[in-house]
Amino acid sequence: MSERGGLWQRLRRIVTPERAPDEDAAPSYRVRFVVGLGNPGGEYAMTRHNIGFWTVNRLARRHNIELKTSGQAALGQGRIGGREVALAKPRTFVNKSGIAVWNLVKRLKLDDARELLVVHDDLDLPVGKVRLRARGGHGGNNGIRSIIETTGSDEFRRLRIGIGRPVVNGKPSHEPDVVADYVLSDPPPDERDLLDEAVERAIEAIEVALAEDIDQAMARFN
């Protein structure tokens, strides 16, 4: 087990009461911490890569949760769906998101990776599509890659918002420079409208995940 994976276990023992010997059912973990990925700075605010920030900003406003700068993140805590939740936007750049997320995981004393939900852009989903995942690999997203590497776990929840891939000569491009320019640019107005609608669906999915559970949200929104 990695050092960080071991810390998840130690946090679990601190936060979760000891179970009676006959209580052998697997514990049910609810989302307690929602992180939106994006890059800090006004020049990136409206770019495709910041759609995680858009979502957390709008979710916070809807539920009167104030996001305040706290170390390497903007952090707010409040209630959504009758449950206590923390919302955050890392102030590191996307490819270093794991540093801020792991520090907040320890600060908030999450006892399992499954209490974390990360909202991020996804190149391989069509523009405006929303998908929830209970766990998995990074799928090429450097922010998710960083969180997996830094926390030592891929068990956290993800909410993916499709931004599509850039097209070169009529074909989707995987060229790193082309992709970088695309994710760090502002979408045109018609695409922005689709992404705004996707953010609204993403917020509804998060609200269901918090009020009910991740399985209900996946069944309803995937």
Q: Considering only 14-23, 91-100, 184-193, which range has the smallest mean pLDDT?
A: 14-23
Q: Looking at the domain assignment, is residue 18 inside a domain?
A: no
Give the structural domain span for 163. 29-221
CB 116 within 8 A of CB 35: yes
DSSP-based three-state secondary structure for 176: helix
199 contact partners, CB below 8 Å, separation of at least 6 = 51, 54, 55, 58, 161
Q: Looking at the domain assignment, is residue 24 inside a domain?
A: no
Type of residue numbered 219: A
Q: Is the pLDDT of residue 28 over 80?
A: no
Catalytic residue among 49, 63, 120, 174: 49
CB 88 within 8 A of CB 56: yes
Q: Looking at the domain assignment, is residue 17 inside a domain?
A: no
User: Which two three-digit tokens encode residue 31?
Assistant: 């989302």
Which tops the pLDDT comparison, 6 or 143? 143
- At residue 5, the pLDDT reads 53
**Residue 3's pLDDT band (cuts 50, 70, 90):** low
Q: Of all residues in the chain, what percent carry a pLDDT higher than 90?
A: 84
Q: Looking at the domain assignment, is residue 195 inside a domain?
A: yes
Per the structure, the count of domains in the chain is 1
**Residue 25's pLDDT band (cuts 50, 70, 90):** very low
DSSP letter assigned to residue 170: T
Q: Looking at the domain assignment, is residue 36 inside a domain?
A: yes
- At residue 22, the pLDDT reads 44
Task: Please give the mean pLDDT across all residues of the chain.
Answer: 90
138 flagged as catalytic:
no
Helix 97-108, helix 3-15: angle, nearest 10: 30
CATH number at residue 204: 3.40.50.1470
CB 138 within 8 A of CB 145: yes
Give the residue carrying structure tokens 């009676």. 20
Tell me the mean pLDDT in the region 106-134: 96
Q: Looking at the domain assignment, is residue 67 inside a domain?
A: yes
Query: How far, in Å, CA of 129 to CA of 1, rounded?
Result: 36
DSSP bridge partners of 78: 85
Q: Looking at the domain assignment, is residue 14 inside a domain?
A: no
Q: Considering only 2-16, 62-76, 150-164, which range has the smallest mean pLDDT?
A: 2-16
- At residue 27, the pLDDT reads 54
- At residue 105, the pLDDT reads 96
- At residue 29, the pLDDT reads 86
Query: How far, in Å, CA of 211 to CA of 81, rounded?
Result: 4
Q: Looking at the domain assignment, is residue 23 inside a domain?
A: no
